[in-house]
Amino acid sequence: MVVLLVLATILPLMTPYPYLAIAPALGALALFAIGQRPQIGLYAIVFLIPFGNFRNIAGPLESIKIHWLLALILLLLLLIRLLVERGFVASLRSNLWPWFLLYLAVSLLSSFFSDDHGYVAHQVSLLLVAMLFFTLIIAMLERESVTRHIPIVIALSVSLGSLLAVLGNLTGMSGFSEGATFSRSTGGTTDPNSLALQIIFGMPFLVFWLFHARHAWSRVFAAILILINLTALVGTYSRSGTLVIGVTLLILLIINSRDIRPRRLGLLIVGITGAALLGTAMLPQTFWERQASLFAEQPDRALSRRFSYLDVARDAVMERPILGHGPGTFRNLFAQTDWAQKFHKKGATKRRYAHNTYLEVVVGTGLLGLAAFAGLLITAWRNLYQASTRLIEKGDRYHGDLVMHYLIAFSALLIFLLFFSDVFQKFMLLCLGLSQVWVRVANEQEDPSMATHASEERP
């Protein structure tokens, strides 16, 4: 094994990609770490979610993604545990499986009757990958993962992506923004709306950190990260992102204000108001012009195009209401319409997403698919809500509040998916698995030292 490792290190030095010589050592270290604690592999996958532009291995291996390799290692470990550990299969039980399997069955039926078998087959394979990701989460993660590590990983990874977006705007670095008329921040993602979604999802974890940290320096650090994320969100120019983050922050303030002394609450409100006024004054005029376009009498080209998606979706559902046209086929259907010709840009594809995940689902898999998809999301939402309620009833207010912030993050993401197409959005899939882990944690036998654990887990 050592000989193979040495050879794998030396060979890249003789190629145009000498920097790959470090890859075998890093791979061996990762294998050792994940073998000792499989959760580390999942933490790494979660950390990489906001960096869609940077998940590929460089050089001749650029078609291979880092998170694929991590997932493969975890799947092998999962298989070994299934073969060796008696009763391990019990940890895979979940009330989400019936909805997953129903959605898979509907997707397969829809694919059979679809006119685009090759494309829909790829979409079904993505669903199977999503189910494997869900399996890894509920099998590998434990109490400490969801109470301590996952919130920190999400907060730091999303904030790092936002920092890249801010630095890209300030320095003009390529790769962190897009757009010809005006620059829109993308950070480590491929799309400004994707960056906005991730910031919205990560915000509840940062706010929880701000209000529940034990040390003043931790609260200051959380406040700085919140500022970075809000600055990056402004740079995305996302109209839907601005609306959703406003509602999310208001809900977070209401929920967290109940534990603040009246005097400190007054100071907090004054501080937030002052910061909001200062920030508003410093925002670029182009940002306000884009937000104002939502209320303009005549919608701009982007909004008009989004209205056309509703028109195409309506006709598609009327044509095949039960099973749809096949998973993921909205883009192909839109490309065949007059709307596609009207909004076509030279050099760009006519195939466009619906900018609404639920429209993508109902067009692709019909009303049956939408019912299964909705059942999946509602069940996960209910899991988180019931876990929060159960923990509070047991006297564990700290973790009950933490689950509530998970729930707010999940809810904000689901709202944003009304304006964004991603049926297999990774943070959404993560929440499905985490909801089951939290149910398991909340159902554990009450531990007299629970209050001590909660104190130790404060950031």
Weakest mean pLDDT among 32-41, 72-81, 169-178, 285-294: 285-294
Does residue 394 register a pLDDT over 50?
yes
Predicted pLDDT of residue 381 = 97
Residue with tokens 């809500």: 385
Asked if residue 404 belongs to a domain, the reply is no
pLDDT, position 88: 81
Classify residue 71: in a domain, yes or no. Answer: yes
Nearest to 232 by CA among 268, 186, 277: 186
**Residues with Cβ within 8 Å of residue 1, at least 6 apart in sequence:** none
What integer pLDDT is reported at residue 12 of this predicted model? 59
The per-residue pLDDT for 399 is: 94
Is 24 contained in some domain? yes
- Residue 42 pLDDT class (50, 70, 90 cuts): very high
pLDDT digit string (tens) for 325-377? 999 999 988 888 888 888 777 767 788 888 999 999 999 999 999 999 999 99
Say how many C-beta atoms besides its own lie within 10 A of residue 130's C-beta: 20
Query: What's residue 253's pLDDT?
Result: 87
Cα–Cα distance for residue pair 279/263, rounded to 1 Å = 24
pLDDT at 108: 95
Q: Comparing 137-146, 340-349, 389-398, which segment has the lowest mean pLDDT?
A: 340-349
Domain that includes residue 15, residue range: 1-92
Q: How many CB atoms lie within 10 A of CB 295?
A: 7
Distance between alpha carbon 255 and the CA centroid of its chain, in Å?
23
In a domain, 88, yes or no: yes
Name the one residue in this structure whose structure tokens are 């189910």: 131
Give the best-scoring range by mean pLDDT among 188-192, 249-253, 384-388.
Answer: 384-388
Task: Report residue 407's pLDDT band, with 50, 70 and 90 as the boundaries.
Answer: very high
Residue 27 resides in a domain: yes
Residues 213-219 have a mean pLDDT of 88
pLDDT digits (tens, 9 = 90+) for 93-133: 999 999 999 999 999 999 998 887 778 888 999 999 999 99
Neighbours of 158 (CB within 10 A): 30
The total of structural domains in the chain comes to: 1
Q: How high is the pLDDT of residue 8? A: 53
End-to-end CA separation in angstroms for the chain? 40
| Cα-based torsion angle of the residue sequence 222, 223, 226, 230 in order, rounded to the nearest 10 degrees | -170
Residue 230 reports pLDDT greater than 80: yes
Contact between 230 and 238 (Cβ < 8 Å): no
Q: Which residues contact 221 (CB under 8 A, 6 or more apart)?
A: none
Element (H, E) at 185: strand 184-185
**What DSSP string describes 414-455?**
HHHTTSS--TT-HHHHHHHHHHHHHHHHHHSPP-TTHHHHHH
Query: What pLDDT, on a 0 to 100 scale, did the predictor assign at position 448?
Result: 47
How many Å apart are CA 331 and CA 364, to the nearest integer? 10
What is the SS3 assignment for 177?
A: strand
Comparing 8-12, 21-25, 59-63, 447-451, the range with the smallest average pLDDT is: 447-451
φ, ψ (nearest 5 deg) of residue 92: -90, 0
Yes or no: say if 204 and 163 are a contact pair by the CB < 8 Å rule.
no
Above 80 in pLDDT, residue 223? Answer: yes
pLDDT at 243 over 70: yes
Look at residue 367 and tell me if it is in a domain: no
- Span 251-270, average pLDDT: 71
Question: Rounded to whole angstroms, how far apart are CA atoms 24 and 3?
Answer: 12
Least confident of 229-238, 257-266, 412-421: 257-266
To the nearest 10°, the Cα dihedral for 64, 68, 69, 71? 180
> For the chain, what is the total number of helices (H) and then of strands (E)?
20, 2
Report the mean per-residue pLDDT for the chain. 84
The string of pLDDT tens digits covering residues 428-442 is 999 999 999 999 999
Q: What 3-state DSSP class applies to 353?
A: coil
pTM, two decimal places: 0.89
Which pLDDT does position 439 carry in this prediction?
Answer: 95
Residue 124 lies in a domain: no
Burial readout 310-328 (b: 16 or more C-beta within 10 A, e: otherwise): eebbeebbeebeebbbbbb
Asked, for residue 23, whether it belongs to a domain, the answer is yes
Give the residue, 170 or 401, on which the prediction is more confident: 401
Please state which of the ranges 141-150, 307-316, 375-384, 409-418 shows the lowest mean pLDDT: 307-316
Average pLDDT over residues 227-244: 90
Q: Nearest Cα to 441, choosing from 44, 148, 202, 201?
A: 148
pLDDT tens-digit readout, 275-326? 666 666 666 777 666 666 666 666 667 778 888 888 989 999 999 999 999 9
Which SS3 state, helix, strand or coil, does residue 160 take? helix
Percent of the chain at pLDDT exceeding 70: 77
354 three-class SS: coil
Torsion angle of the four alpha carbons 425, 373, 307, 328, in this order, in degrees rounded to the nearest 10: 70
Residue 169 in this model has a pLDDT that exceeds 70: yes
Greater pLDDT, 67 or 313: 313
- 423 versus 26: the higher-pLDDT residue is 423
